[in-house]
Every structure is written in structure tokens, then in C-alpha cells.
Chain A
Amino acid sequence: MRNRDLTPSEKSQATFEPRIVAFFCNWCTYLAADLAGTSRMKYAPNVRVIRVMCSGRVDPQFVLDAFAHGADGVFIGGCHPGDCHYQEGNYKTLRRFHLLKRVLQQMGIEDERCRLEWISAAEAERVRSTINDMVEKVRALGPLDLIPTEEKVSAEEVAV
């Protein structure tokens, strides 16, 4: 790579650091992320975690708001099916997630940019590997270019 000139898109790819917003439930995934810390596991610094009591609290609007404000990816972490601290909040999350995915698809937001994972309090390793994997995948996709679209369209219209 270093030996040849980079094209402009490759250049932005090389310096691009994805911004990922995560919503972790208080009882499983947030604890797993704490455990990753106490176990001194190392992972990519691109994720910003927002704590909610249950993944069921994650309103699809939160995900859309994150994308609208410049997130390149959104990661929702909840307890495994059957393990929800509130009995079944994670099933509700899953139901909403399927619908949300279709909306995101119609908006042209790639599948890998929004992820739902079940990670128990013991699975620190999965926090590490999921974050690293997601950062790599989103990095490969490049920045989510949502905001300037309006400007681009109007510019094109003017050109016509």
C-alpha cells in the first residue's frame, strides 16, 4: 500500500474511523463490557456505549437519530433469549429490529451498519470480537453519507 499512490477514495478509506453508537442493556451486555474492562481485553475505540435498562427500551427512533447525527453504525446488545432480566424485553427488541432493518434497507443503509447481538454478562470476549468485527465491516463500507444527500440532490437539480 505504502509503495504506491492512493486514490482519493482509498485515502479517505485509510483515514476513516467509523463512529458507532451502542445501546447496551444494564444486566447483560453492559456488564459484559465491564467484564471486558476488568479482564483488560483490548478492542477498537470506535464505539460509544449508551446504557439502557433493557434492550427493549431501544426505540427505533434512537437508531435513526444516531444515523442522522453522523453514526456510521449502531450496535444493540441485549440478554440472550430466555435470559432477559425483565422476562421478555429482548423479544420485543427483536420484533422491532426486524421492522427497523427493513426501514433502514429502504433508506439505503447497509445491513452491516445496524447490528443486534445477544451477549450475556459472562461473554466479554463477544463484546470484544463483535466490536472489532463491526468496526472492520463498517470501515470497509466507508462513511455513511446521509446528511449531505439533500445538498447533493439540489446541486444536481441546479446543474440540470
Chain B
Amino acid sequence: MPEIPSSAIESSRERPRIGVYVCHCGTNIAGIVDVRAIVEFAAKLPGVVVSRDYKYMCSDPGQALIQQDIAEHHLNRVIVASCSPLLHEATFRRVLSRAGLNAFLLQMVNIREHVSWVHLNQREATEKTKDLVRAAVRRVSLHKPLQKRRVSINPHVLVVGGGIAGIHAALTLAEAGKQVYLVEREPTIGGHMAKFDKTFPTLDCAACILTPKMTAVGSHPRIHLWTYSEVVRVEGYVGNYKVKVRRKPRYVIEDLCLGCQECVTACVYKEAKNPDEFNLGLSKRKPVYLPFPQAVPQKVVIDPQTCIQFKSGKCKKTCVEACGDRKAIDFTQKETIEDIEVGTIILATGFKTFDPVRNPYYGYGRYANVYTSLEVERLINASGPTAGEIVLRDGGQPKAVGIIHCVGSRDANTNRWCSKVCCMYSLKLAHLIKERTGAEVYNFYIDMRTPGKGYEEFYDRLLDEGVHFVRGRVAEVSDWATHPSEKGRLVIRVEDTLAAFVRRIPVDMVVLSVGMEPQPDAQDVRRLFNISCSTEGWFLERHPKLAPVSTFTEGVYIAGACQGPKDIPDSVAQAGAAAAEAMALIDAQFVELEPYTAFISEDQCSGCKTCIPLCPYQAISYMEEKKKAAINEVLCKGCGTCVAGCPSGSIQQNFFEDEEIFEEIEGVLAYA
């Protein structure tokens, strides 16, 4: 680790010469806080040499101002009162470094997120700002020069989730020469996109653009593809993660299975009886099956819940016979745990669709011909359960189809957010249904949201094609006929808010455009990888605009719909961004960590060992010969729990020393 130059230590011991810089942030801060009053107040505080305000402190001229003052006024401490330190602390630390000061002689005061944006009264906001600035001035005088720690980066990457986002991220990284572990929970990669028939607005077939990428993943020499596997444990820190992956038994030895599916044909079940998960139960599969024809890897899987051999142990095992010399079927296979070491992690765990059973008034699960949009995707798909024919459950063809938008989206009773993709995929389904069946298609929408390249044009095209659009949230779907034309059909009741009356529209098929939701286990995954979720349960990005694929845990990135509803182009773009972020770290070969570690003053340590069990990282050990505790700086993550627990006060935390915090406490309270 590079040493702090002794001159830096010397200068920090000199009498503090503090510069205070108050940012207007346009009117964001200056609109509520009396910035001039703060500047005048700060100028009178002990140790303050310069006190200034500026419109945008983070801008180039703002930074230059600080840099110039440091040189001119020989400042050795700097206070910036502006936005949250989580946004611009790094920016201003760089300013100090450029000016030749140690970066940690800076203290930020959060007067935007914590003051001007949350208070309305100018006097109160200004008083609060004064308290915070006073505390910072008192604290910063005690700051010591610190040095960031450098750690090396393991060049291997873990990608979790094999949907389009995970696939794209894995391929990008592998093409750049990195080793990638792609872990997917299902027996095949492909995710939701593999279920679609066409993609909006270009109407190119999803399989044609996805399956080549899937195959590329399966055959790439630098991608370790582990399907039917889940991450169970993550330890370590940026650049050096230790991950445990559970590989569930598929009862088929992947290396030996050729994907010929002779075992499937030979299964003692002549007819497939079990609901096919990939087709959302719209077709049946056997206990031994290939998830779908283009599955990657092309390896069958045996479902122990339905296989006779697992249920009774008395099967004739015709599958094993059919497999013959290849000997790929292994009923004794056990789950295995793989240990891997990676430097960075990309989470692309996707979404789930809203379960419309929660909106009982739309009759899903009660009326046979009410479908979710995803089910209709399968019906339309040429490799789906009906080979692409749109048929009702009784085999008939629909003459009229109603597509209900915003099911489980923009709804105070279920999910408040807009799922972003439903308007466009509803238009796509409307087009495909009309094209294939000639049926009358009605779209029931609240607002038509088509922002995107070529999206509005697609909507215009649909209007020309004669698809009906009714603006209004559907009240109910029922089979209650009040007129002979409604007999045996589904009746959609809706207030047409453009025509201003309530309509009853009889149809044969109802499509519920279900919204996107976080995965049901998103909270568990979040804990596993030590990241946060937004209020809705989507993975939280570090900054919505400036760090959209980073998380608060360094080295862990997010891509695709696990971060929020998004369509395929956006998911792919994010996946590329996440891959680039990971590569930036890998190619830098090292990363700098905050120096907020704890350290022990041996003179004061009584060797009581109170601190040792407090550390979750086993960073503290006991030196028998000296009868003192010692902290391993490499393992310490800088939480400060041991510092607060030390009965003799002999442990301190860099940048959060007791005295620094006491000064801050007393500073905020030292009002006149």
C-alpha cells in the first residue's frame, strides 16, 4: 500500500485553515436556504479562512474556484455544503487531490437532499444548514490524511440469470476475453424472450434473433454455462468474491446427453400428462423432457415429481434402455455445490408477470377464454402448443378479441407503476391476432404509451389496420348475457371515456395485458448479493441517471428487468453497460477501497477480547504473546461495530474516529 507522504501528515497537523464552499445548485438549494447568510456565518467560525458560494460547485469553474483557493490561501481543510456526499463526495475529493491536499481532508454537508428539498420554511432551513456547517467545520479540523486501499481484481465474472440481458452480458464479456460463469435457475437459458413469437415494433421473430445468441453462449469456450443452478452463497468483496453455486440434479449427465430425445419417445408414459412449464400449462410434457425445441443446453431433464422411477422405484426404465451405450441417464445423481471465485457480478434475474387472479373482476381462472398476454404469446408462437394457431379452449376460432391493458399496472389496488412494455406488446398481439384470425380486435387502454424508436409509427399502423381502441379502464369481464348477441360469449363492460358512456362489448377471447413485477424471491436474492431494492421491490441502482447499472455494493451490477420494467432493447443496452462496467474494473486490474477501516492503539488495548466476536468478517485476532487484539486491515470492511463496542476506547475507525463524531454532535447542538 502506498504510504501517505510525511509532508501531508505535517500539513494536516498545522493549525486548520478551512475553506467553506456553499453550492446554490441553481435554485435547488438557494431557493430555500439563504446561501449568503450561510457564507457570512461560516466566515466567522474558528479556523475558517475563506467562505464562498457559487451557483454550481460541482461544475468546472466551481471546482477550479476551490482548487485556486487551496493554493492561494494555503487551505488545509475543505467543506463543501451541497448535495448528498453519496453523489459528489468523490468529485470534490478529486479536487483536493489535484490541489495537492489529501482527499480525506474534505467534509461534505448535505444541504440539498437533507435540507432544501425537504423543508419549506427559509428561516428554519437556513438555521438547520448553519448547524450542519458548524458541525462540519468542527469535525474537519480533526480529519487526518488517509490513503485508499488497493485490492486486485479477479478477472472472472459471474452473470446470474440467462434471459436476454444475462446472455448479452455474458457474450460481451466472453468476446472481450473474460471468463464468465452464467448461472441460470431453469433447465434452459432464454428467459421470457424465448417464449415470445414476434418482437415489437419490427415484428422480427424473437427466436430468430435470440436462439443464435443462446447457441453462442452454449458453445463459447470462455462461458461456463450452468443451468438448473442457483447461487446459494456470496462472500468477499469487490474484485474478490467467493461464490457457492448449487447445481440441481437433472438426473441426466450433461456431458453424455446428446439431446436426441429418444428417451422422451421411449418413456413408459405414451401420452404426455404433465403441464408443460414452458408453455405455461397450455400443453403437456412427459416426466423426461426437453424444455423447448431450441433449448440451450440441448439436454433433457427428468422431473422427479412426476417420474415413476422416483415415485415408486418400479419403472421399467425404458428411457435408460433407449439411451443405451450413451448412459446419460443417472437416477442417483445428487445436487452438487461448486465453489467459484470471481471479481465482479452481474445480476440479470428478470421479472415475473402479474398474476391476474388478484383482479377477480377480469375472470381469469374462472372463464376458460380469458388468457394472459404471455399465454397468448405461446399460442401465437409457431413452436408453441398450437403451432401458432390462435384457438379457443374448445378449439374454435375467435371472432372478436378484447385486449385489456394495464392489468396489474397503474392500479392503486395492485401495482402503481407503469410496466412500460404492455402498450407495445398489446399492439403487437392485436396486429398478429387480426392478421391470423381476421377477428375484430378491441384494445381497452387508459393512455397509449408508445415512447421509443418506431413505436408511435407502429401505433399509427394499427389505427390504419382497423383495430378498435376504446379509452377506459375495463370494469368487468362476465358471461352474463343481456342480449341474444351476447349469449355464450364474454362481455366486457367499460366506460368509454372519449364517447362518455358505458359500453358492453361481447367477445370470444379476452387477453389480459399483465404488467411486470419483481421476481417473488427478489428480496432473498438482494440479501444474498448485499444490494438494496426500491420501494416496489426492483433492484436499486446506485444513481438513477449517473450510475444506472451499478449498485451500492461495489463490483455488483444489475441489468435488465430486475432493475425495473423494460423492453428488450433497453435490457440489452443495460446488459452491455453492465458488462462494460465490469470490464472497466477488470482492465484497471485493481480497485481502490475506502480507507474507513478500524485500527487498535496497542497501548490502550487491555486484551479483553470483547471486539473479537463482534466482527462478522473474522478480521480481529488475538495476539497471545502480546495479549492484545489485532485487526487485519485487508479483511476489515469498515463498519465500526468493534469501535463502538471497545470498553477501553482503544479501537478507532478512520474517518469516523470518536473525537470526530463527538465534534459533529456537539457542533450541531452548539447553537446560540
Contact = CB atoms under 8 A, between A and B. Distances in A.
A120 B85 contact: no
B605 interface: no
Interface residues of B, number: 53
Interface string B322-363: 000000000000000000000000000000000000000000
A36 B641 contact: no
A21 B128 CA distance: 12
Given A27-B552, A31-B532, A45 B124 contact: yes
Interface in B124-149: 124-125, 127-128, 131-132, 135
Interface residues of A, number: 52
Nearest to A27: B552
B538 to A, nearest CB: 9
Interface stretch (B13-21, B114-122, B193-201, B621-629): B114-122
A45 B552 contact: no
B669 A69 contact: yes
A62 interface: yes
Contacts of B535: 122-125
B639 A56 contact: yes
B98 to A, nearest CB: 25
B533 interface: yes
A66 B665 contact: yes
A86 B639 contact: yes
A127 to B, nearest CB: 9
Nearest to A25: B639
B117 A38 contact: yes
B665 A69 contact: yes
Interface in B254-304: none
Contacts of A85: 530, 552-553, 639
A57 B114 contact: no
Interface string B636-671: 011111011100000001001010011011101111
Contacts of B121: 45
B658 A21 contact: no
B614 interface: yes
A114 interface: no
Nearest to A61: B658
B639 A57 contact: yes
Interface string A79-111: 000110111110010001000000000000000
Nearest to A123: B535
Contact of B117 (A31, A37, A71, A123): A37
B653 A82 contact: no
Contact of A70 (B86, B127, B661, B669): B669
Nearest to B85: A51
A21 B644 contact: no
B534 interface: yes
Given A27-B532, A45-B124, A57-B653, A65 B666 contact: yes
A77 to B, nearest CB: 13
Nearest to B544: A38
Interface in A54-81: 54, 56-62, 65-66, 69-71
Given A36-B113, A87-B616, A57 B118 contact: no
Contacts of B119: 42-43, 45
Contact of A50 (B533, B534, B661): B661
B527 interface: yes
Contact of A45 (B128, B532, B645, B665): B128
A34 to B, nearest CB: 4
Contact of B665 (A21, A56, A122, A128): A21
Contacts of A116: none
A111 B131 CA distance: 26
Interface in A19-34: 19, 21, 26-28, 30-31, 33-34
A65 B114 contact: no
Interface in B553-610: 553, 596
Given A21-B668, A50-B664, A122-B540, A57 B656 contact: yes
A152 interface: no
A121 B665 CA distance: 24
B640 A28 contact: no
B640 A40 contact: no
A57 B643 contact: yes
B110 interface: yes
B334 to A, nearest CB: 30
B643 A37 contact: no
B616 A86 contact: yes
Contact of B527 (A58, A59, A83): A83
Given A57-B643, A89-B639, A52 B661 contact: yes
A137 interface: no
A15 B132 CA distance: 22
B84 interface: yes
Interface of B: 84-86, 110, 112-115, 117-121, 124-125, 127-128, 131-132, 135, 527, 530, 532-535, 540, 552-553, 596, 614, 616-617, 637-641, 643-645, 653, 656, 658, 661-662, 664-666, 668-671
Given A33-B113, A56-B644, 15 more contacts: A21-B665, A21-B668, A30-B86, A31-B532, A33-B114, A34-B86, A37-B114, A45-B127, A50-B135, A59-B658, A62-B662, A85-B552, A86-B637, A89-B639, A89-B641
10 contacts: A21-B668, A21-B669, A28-B532, A34-B84, A48-B128, A56-B644, A57-B644, A71-B665, A85-B553, A96-B645
Interface of A: 19, 21, 26-28, 30-31, 33-34, 36-38, 40-43, 45, 48-54, 56-62, 65-66, 69-71, 82-83, 85-89, 92, 96, 120-125, 128
Q: What are the 7 tightest A-B residue pairs by CB atom distance, in nearest-first order?
A: A37-B113, A57-B640, A56-B641, A86-B639, A48-B668, A54-B639, A37-B117
